[in-house]
Amino acid sequence: MQVETLDDVLKWTSDYHQSLADRLDHSSGNNESERARLLLDYLSKHEASLARTVHESERTAEGKSLNTWCYEYLEKHQLVQRIHFDESFSNLNPAQIMDIVTDQHNQIIELYRYLYSRANFPETKSLLGALLELEQHEAMQMMQGANRLQDI
């Protein structure tokens, strides 16, 4: 997917969260560790929910905000330096799973943080601020949920 505008970034983010949810879900049945299976299931549901929320933000955002060009950042950075989708979480322990998922979220947060800092229009800044806050909040919530699962 060629990403040039904020609308493209939102579509990519929603698709990315859904793809990650699908990978986590697929891996949850194959991991030998009960804790890892619980974590993968939890994260999968969380990512799918986040994908729907980002998609809804895209659907309700103002058109002129969505047409904002974002290519400057994207020329210098990959959207997310992710592991290959053919790799699985099936052989990873809970700490390894959380390291990967946390890293992925941190890269998305950094993207939104940069775009927010460069936004010129109030509508665009508001949309990016809401998305940045959403990603930060969801990453924190996932970490707390993962920590609670470890306490079980």
pLDDT band at 64 (very low <50, low <70, confident <90, very high): confident
Residue type, 47: E
Cβ neighbours of residue 43 closer than 8 Å, sequence gap 6 or more: 21, 24, 97, 101, 142, 146
CA 133-2-123 angle, to 5 degrees, is 35
CATH of domain 6-151: 1.20.1260
Q: pLDDT digit string (tens) for 27-59?
A: 988 888 899 999 999 999 999 999 999 999 888
Give the separation between CA 28 and CA 5, rounded to whole angstroms. Answer: 34
Q: pLDDT digit string (tens) for 98-149?
A: 999 998 899 899 989 989 998 888 888 999 999 999 999 999 998 898 888 7
pTM over 0.75: yes
Longest dimension (CA), the chain: 50
pLDDT at res. 66: 81
Q: Cα-flanking dihedrals φ and ψ of residue 5, to 5°?
A: -115, 170
Domain map of the chain by residue range? 6-151
Residue type, 81: Q
